[in-house]
Each structure stands twice: as structure tokens, then as C-alpha cells.
Structure 1
Amino acid sequence: MPLASTLRMAALALFWGSGFLWIKLALSHGLTPAQITIARCALGSAVLLVLARRAAQRLPRSWTTWRRLVVAAFFCNALPFALFAVGEQHLDSGLAGVLNATTPLWSLLIGMTFGGERITHPVRLTGLGLGFAGTVLIFAPWHHGGLLSPPALALLAAAASYAVAFAYMARHLTTKEAPLAMSAAQLLTATGLSALALPAAGPLHPDATALLAVTALGVLGTGVTFYLNYRLIADEGPTSAATVGYLLPVVSVTLGATLLDEHIGPRVLAGMTVVLVAVAMTRTGGRAAARPLTADGRGAAADRVTASVRETAAAGCGATAGGGASLPVPAPPQPGGRRLRSR
């Protein structure tokens, strides 16, 4: 892999994985979950609008597209961004990164339940079951000191919300043109949705640390990450880009431990390892079958790109959450997530 792509991958993992750290810092220094969500969406959309303008891409003009963006923005941005902030009010940023890693498992489960996806590969089926077993290990409901609590469930719900969004966007928002503009439009929509919570957002008392943290979250963790993922997919392909998702929990746990003195116990680390192994297993033999060209000229290669981009976004977001921007889905060469994507 060229040095430029390697550096892009490293920056992407750092910016995406650090999103949980920025959320925790912003919460600890005067911002509420609603305020963080609004600022994150607004700053991320501003970055993508600038990038879209530089690429001569225009915002969508179809009302149908904007209506669909409302659904995507709610489940992929406004809701999970808020849930991650709510959960991190009481739990460590490292744990948030670990639970975010369950998103691909939710995506697979939703595809099986509602999307008509049939999974016959035994390794994928085993991986799905193993992944949720790892999640149970993290929560340890049988243990007095387990993590089964409303804040932890909020973090898990955020990961599941990303999966709902990916399924919806794959069906209704795939596009081969203007991925940067489509992603900017989605985050603009998310900004408007999040602003509806302003009356309940609470007083605004941030200090300099909070302002710097939320700026890093919106600019680097939401806007710039999409562009980096977009370039990585265009240059190296979706498979290389997807590997970044496996680094996010490691980055979030490491940053939380070194900068915030968070302690992730052996049980949670073991659960994280099981989940990541399970996610790798669920990618085995998935959507690899060749397909003939469709009417619009897309064939097996394009389908694999779209599928892999969806999985990349799921693994990271976030855009996703950390990762967060995960937005509309383009065909090659495309966005990360973007689909934006971003966690």
C-alpha cells in the first residue's frame, strides 16, 4: 500500500476512534448531549459543504431525496450521536467504542430479519451468534458489577441505529454521483433534526476544553473522516478501507486509558476481542458471488463496492459515532459510507 494511503488509514482510525474521547471531554467540560449533537452535525456538514463545493458537487434538488435524507439523518446521525453522548455521561469512552463495534452484527441481523438476506455460510452464522455472545460477556448481566444499565443500553441502541440507517440507505439512497454533496445534505438535515431538541438542551456553559473537543469531533471525527474514507476506498478499494473498522475500539480504549485514566477490565477486553473476531467471521463468504451487469451498468464489482462500503461504515461509525458520519452510498469510486458516511 502506498505511503499516502497508509497515512490516510492511520489518520482515519485515529480520528474515528477518538470521537468517543471528544464526546467524553465535551460532556465533562460543560456541554450537554443535545448541544454536542447539534454542534457535531453542524460542523461536519460545514466541512462537507466546503469539500462538495471544491468538487463542484451540488446539493440534491429532488424533494423525494430530501424526504429520504430525513430518515437517514435521524437513524444515522441525530439519534446515534445523541445516544452515544447520553451513554457516555455515565460510562467510559472506551466502552462506547467497544459497543460501537457491534454495528456490523446488527446490520447482518437486520438483513436476515427484514431485508430478505439469506445467510447459509456456516462461518457467518457462527460469527453472528459469537458476536452477540461477546456482547453479553461485556454486559455480564449475571454479575453484580455488570454493565447492564440504561446508559449501556443507550450505547448499544446507538450501534443498532447505525445498522438500521445502513439498511435504509442501501435501499433508498444509493447514488453514483455527488457523494460529498449528498453526505453534506444528510448532515444538514441531521443538524435541523437535532436543533428540535434545543429547548431541552439545557444551559450553555462550555469551557475552552469543551469547545475544542466538540470542534475536533465535528470537523475531524465527522467531516474529515468521510473524506479520508472516500479517498481510501477510491485509491485502495473497500476491503482495505474496511479494515479500519477493526482498529476503532482499540483506539478508543487506548485513548480512554491513557488520557482519561479509564479502566477497561479483562472481561470487557475479552468481550471486545470476541466481537471483533465475530465481525471478521460474518464477512466470510458474504456477497461475493458474481452478478451480471444491471440495466444501469452496475455489475458484480460495483455491488461488492457498495456492500463493502456499507460494512466499512458500519464498522466505523461513525460515522459515523465515532465515526460518524455515515451517509449515502455511492458506487465506485465512492464514499465511505457514502455513503458517507459518521459514527
Structure 2
Amino acid sequence: MNGVAGRAWAWTRVGVLALLWGSTFLWIELALNALSPVQVTLSRCVLGTATLLVACLGSGRRLPRGRAVWGHLVVAAFFCNALPFAMFSIGQQTVDSGVAGVLNATTPLWSLLIGVVIGSERGLRPVRLGGLLLGFAGVVLIFAPWQTTGPVGWGALAIVAAAASYAVGFAYMGRNLVGRGIPTISVSAAQLIAATGLTSLTLPAGGLAPMQIDPKTALAVVLLGVVATGITFHLTYRIIAAEGATNAATVGYLLPVVSVALGAVVLDEPFSLRIAAGMVIVLVGVALTRRPKQTLSPSASADTPQALSAPRA
């Protein structure tokens, strides 16, 4: 695949993932009308696991084997699934779905900082760093923390913690699970199995409460588990494998556009010119962070999957 086609395909995958991932916050908001945070988290893990297991069966793939691999899967499942899923469900009890998506957009900044610390981001270009900082400035503009009213407190902190946890999970997956010869559908299914097991341990903390689910809530739970968890998580793994953990986390910068739009249209959440301006700044920042590196040798082009793939330990 040539450079232009490769970039177009990469943007297409990022766009689809942003649309699916950005809708997650809407489905969580609707699911919380009838389910506790633990129940929402466990439901999406179970349905996501079932979706990917069916995909594995249909494609003739097997789950990975080996104690070492499953050890890595458990760690990745904690940071990339169980912990952030729970934090979002807890945080969205007091934070609007649109704002949740905005706060989640800090993931690329955390991912970049982690990449610098662990050495996976060598020779960071000023234009890329500037794009990340510009995108974060757009997030700040949308959130407007200087205002005296709005969603603040433990709910917002829980969502920021989820965003940071995603960044840790992406980096860990890129170093220990990607590029090991295991099909992405197999490793993503196995990781959600591990996440389901970890989340099951939290059932005593509100997971056993009675539920009264209406058709609207049931549909939200199914979409959250099948589409926004199972399919989205598999696409995330594919992007990490093709383009690296930091580029995968850049999808988070597109989430405010989707989450704020859905929150405003479906849930009648607030929308203003300030939010619109912030989203434009975010998109400009994304464009800068994904600008290909100019090299003298075509073989060293940053557009190739080899150049963009996550580092291997």
C-alpha cells in the first residue's frame, strides 16, 4: 500500500474508531439509568467478550496459550479495560456524557508522556509535541475549568484517571502483546476474557443490586457491549499493531466531537460556541500529531506500518 493510500486507510480506521468509541459515553449514560456502575462495567465486558469469541470462532482463530502471555493479558486488561471501564461508569454518575468524552481526550497527552519516560518516543518532533499540546488546549477550552459552575469533583477525577489508565494500557499492550505473532482478534478476545474475570471480583460492591431494565436501557447495554466495547476494542488493537500506541491514543482527541454532539442531540446536554471552538482546536491538534515525518529515504518513511509499529521489548 503506497504512502497516500496508507495514510487514507489509517485516517479511515481512526475515524471509524472515534465514532464508535465516542458513542460509548452516551450508552454508559443511558445504561446508568437502570444499572449500577459495577453492573454496567461487567455487562460491557461480558458482551464484548462474547462478540470477539464469536469472531474468533468464525475466523478459525484460537485463543493465545502460555502462562507468560496470559500474565501480560491480565495486566493489560486491568489498565485498558477493567479499571477505566469502572472509572467511567462511576464518573458519569455526576458528569455529562459529552464532558466525559472531552476528559477522555487527555489520553494522547498521557500516552506521549509515558512514551517519553519508557523510551518509546525517541526524537520527539516539535510539530508533534505542539499538536498534542494544542489538542489539550482545545480540551481545556471545552471543559472550561475556570468557570464556577459545571461538572467538577470526584466524577471528573475518575474520568481523568480512566484516560491515564488507557494510556498505560496502550503502552503496555504495544510493548508486550503486539507483534508477538498472535492474531489481533485472538489477543483482544483473550484480554476481554481477563477483564471480565477482574470485573467479576467487584460484584459485591453494588453489582448484586436488583435491576429494572426497559427496552431503551437494554438496547444501550447491548450497543455498549457489542459495538462500543467488543468491536471498538478489536479496532484499537489493530491500530496499535499498525501505527503504535501513541497514534492509537490520538483517537482520543476526536472523541469530544462525537461525545459532545451525541450528548447535545440525544440527551439535550449543553452546547455552545466555546465548545465548538474547542473541538476545532482539537482537530487541528490531531492533524499536527499525525503529520508524517519527512525523510530522505523512502524506505524509512514514517508512513509504513514498520515505522509506526509499537516498539517491542
Classify the TM-score, shorter chain: 0.7 to 0.9
Residue of structure 2 equivalent to 1:339 = none
Distance 1:218 1:71, change over 3 A: same
Residue of structure 2 equivalent to 1:283 = 290
Give the gaps of 5 or more residues in structure 2.
Answer: none
Aligned counterparts of 1:230 and 1:171: Cα–Cα separation in 2:
12
Higher deviation after alignment, 272-281 or 42-51: 272-281
Return the letter of the residue paired with 2:184.
P
Aligned counterparts of 2:295 and 2:154: Cα–Cα separation in 1:
38
Pick aligned residue for 1:163 from 167, 172, 176:
167
Residue of structure 2 equivalent to 1:260 = 267
Return the letter of the residue paired with 1:96.
A
Residue of structure 1 equivalent to 2:213 = 207
CA contact (8 A) 1:110 1:164 kept: yes
Return the letter of the residue paired with 1:248.
L
Give the gaps of 5 or more residues in structure 1.
Answer: 294-298, 311-328, 330-343
Residue of structure 1 equivalent to 2:96 = 92
Pick aligned residue for 2:307 from 304, 307, 312:
304
Residue of structure 2 equivalent to 1:178 = 183
Aligned counterparts of 1:231 and 1:72: Cα–Cα separation in 2:
15
Residue of structure 1 equivalent to 2:28 = 23
Return the letter of the residue paired with 2:218.
L
Residue of structure 2 equivalent to 1:322 = none
Residue of structure 1 equivalent to 2:64 = 60
Shift of 1:159: 1.2
Distance 1:75 1:227, change over 3 A: closer
CA contact (8 A) 1:291 1:300 kept: no
**Scaled by the length of structure 2, what TM-score is found?**
0.81
Aligned counterparts of 1:289 and 1:34: Cα–Cα separation in 2:
52
CA contact (8 A) 1:103 1:162 kept: yes
- Residues 97-119 of structure 1: CA deviation (Å, up to 9, x unaligned): 22222212211111112335234
Residue of structure 2 equivalent to 1:225 = 232
Distance 1:291 1:112, change over 3 A: farther
Return the letter of the residue paired with 2:183.
A
Residue of structure 2 equivalent to 1:103 = 107
CA contact (8 A) 1:112 1:119 kept: no
Aligned counterparts of 1:231 and 1:74: Cα–Cα separation in 2:
19
Distance 1:131 1:251, change over 3 A: closer
Higher deviation after alignment, 114-123 or 222-231: 222-231
> Where do 1:190-201 residues align within 5 Å?
190-201=195-206
Shift of 1:8: 8.2
Shift of 1:55: 1.3
Distance 1:156 1:62, change over 3 A: same
Shift of 1:259: 1.1
Return the letter of the residue paired with 1:274.
I
Aligned counterparts of 2:117 and 2:294: Cα–Cα separation in 1:
17
Aligned counterparts of 1:259 and 1:72: Cα–Cα separation in 2:
33
Aligned counterparts of 2:139 and 2:277: Cα–Cα separation in 1:
10
2:32 aligned counterpart, secondary structure: helix
Aligned counterparts of 1:207 and 1:232: Cα–Cα separation in 2:
35
Aligned counterparts of 2:14 and 2:281: Cα–Cα separation in 1:
23
Distance 1:204 1:8, change over 3 A: farther
Shift of 1:154: 1.4
Return the letter of the residue paired with 1:271.
G
Aligned counterparts of 2:58 and 2:122: Cα–Cα separation in 1:
42
Q: Which is helix-richer, 1 or 2?
A: 2
Pick aligned residue for 1:47 from 42, 47, 51:
51
Residue of structure 2 equivalent to 1:188 = 193
Distance 1:10 1:76, change over 3 A: closer
Higher deviation after alignment, 57-66 or 135-144: 135-144
- RMSD between superposed Cα atoms in Å: 3.6
Q: State, as a whole percentage, how many aligned pairs show the same letter.
A: 56
Distance 1:9 1:164, change over 3 A: closer
Distance 1:163 1:12, change over 3 A: closer
- Residues 127-149 of structure 1: CA deviation (Å, up to 9, x unaligned): 23333433443444433125442
